[in-house]
Amino acid sequence: MSERRIRVIVAKPGLDGHDRGAKVVARALRDAGMEVIYTGLRQTPESIVETAIQEDADAIGVSILSGAHEHYFSEIIKLLKEKSAED
C-alpha cells in the first residue's frame, strides 16, 4: 500500500499579477515529490479555502507581492476555522 503524497495548494490572492515566484515554488515542491495544485491569479480567501477543502490539501502556500499578507493570512485562517478545516 503506497502512502499518499503531500498535497499543497499554491495560490495568488488579490490583484497582484506577478506569478513567477509562485510557479517556481510550485515546481520545486513538485520536484520534491509533492502533489501541487496551483490555483492561478486573483484568488479570494474564500476560493483558496474552498479549493483546499475540495482537494483535501495538507498545506496552503500563498504568494503575495503587495505586502497585504497579514490581511490574507488572517482571513484564510479564520475561514479554515469556520469550516473546521484548520488541521
pTM of the predicted model, to two decimals?
0.89
Residue spans of the domains in the chain: they are 7-82
Higher pLDDT, 17 or 83: 83
- Evaluate if residue 15 carries a pLDDT over 90: no
User: What dotted CATH number matches 7-82?
Assistant: 3.40.50.280
pLDDT category, 2, cuts 50, 70, 90?
low
Residue type, 13: P
pLDDT digits (tens, 9 = 90+) for 25-50: 999 999 999 999 999 999 999 999 99
Q: For residue 39, what are the CA distances in angstroms to 19, 36, 46, 48?
A: 11, 10, 12, 8
- Per the CB < 8 A criterion, the answer to whether 38 and 22 are in contact is yes
